[in-house]
């Protein structure tokens, strides 16, 4: 009986460690997913001038945006 209890405790502790790892990875990756595009209320032209690489990536997914129609945002 002691052996079975020990195995369950070992498995349970590993599940907790894996769960915490998944949560930490999700929290750390969330800002990267949410930071795409110009900030709300900001001038998108200024943002595109300051962040050219991010602007071109964002415009690839948002071709209908006004700033993406500008020739500088290619």
Encode pLDDT of 7-51 as tens digits. 888 888 899 999 999 999 888 776 655 556 788 888 888 888 888
Q: What angle do CA 46, 74, 51 make, to 5 degrees?
A: 35
Q: What pLDDT band is residue 55 in, cutting at 50, 70 and 90? A: confident
> For the chain, what is the domain count?
2
6 and 31, same domain (yes or no): yes
Give the global pTM. Answer: 0.44
pLDDT for 21 equals 94
43 and 72, same domain (yes or no): yes
31 and 43, same domain (yes or no): no
Domain that holds residue 46: 38-74
Two tokens, residue 20: 């915490």
CA distance 1 to 15: 21
Which one has a higher pLDDT value, 4 or 34? Answer: 4
pLDDT for 35 equals 52
Two tokens, residue 5: 């209890």
| SS3 of residue 18 by DSSP | helix
pLDDT for 19 equals 92
10 and 29, same domain (yes or no): yes
Sequence-distant (6+) residues with CB within 8 A of 38 are 44, 47, 48, 58, 67
């Amino acid at each position: 009986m002691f052996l079975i209890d020990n195995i369950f405790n070992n498995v349970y502790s590993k599940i907790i460690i894996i769960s915490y790892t998944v949560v930490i990875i999700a929290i750390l990756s969330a800002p990267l997913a949410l930071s795409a595009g110009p900030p709300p209320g900001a001038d998108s032209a200024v943002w595109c001038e300051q962040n050219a690489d991010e602007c071109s990536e964002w415009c690839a997914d948002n071709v209908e945006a006004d700033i993406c129609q500008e020739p500088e945002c290619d």
